[in-house]
Amino acid sequence: MNERIRELAEQCGFVYNENFGLTADINANADLFAESIIRECALVVHKNIGPKSALNVLEHFGVEE
């Protein structure tokens, strides 16, 4: 698993286990995890393509700035 995705998942309450992969903790927030990944993607788009394209990514997924 990508290290950055693992970090985002753990920040949202997921637990990574070498034997089972990513598992949800009782406090895991799947919506926050998905939003974190979308924000990370938008950041990459912003840096490589431009801010308007990054806003399009956020708008497409309904993530506010």
Q: Give 10-residue mean pLDDT values along the chain (65 residues).
A: 87 86 83 94 96 94 86
Report d(CA 46, CA 30) in Å as an integer.
24
Report d(CA 28, CA 22) in Å as an integer.
11
**Is 54 among the domain residues?**
yes
pLDDT at 28: 81
**Is 18 among the domain residues?**
yes
Domain count, the chain: 1
Report d(CA 45, CA 30) in Å as an integer.
23
**Is 48 among the domain residues?**
yes
pLDDT at 58: 94
**Is 65 among the domain residues?**
no
Please give the residue range of the domain that contains residue 54.
3-60
Report d(CA 48, CA 65) in Å as an integer.
18
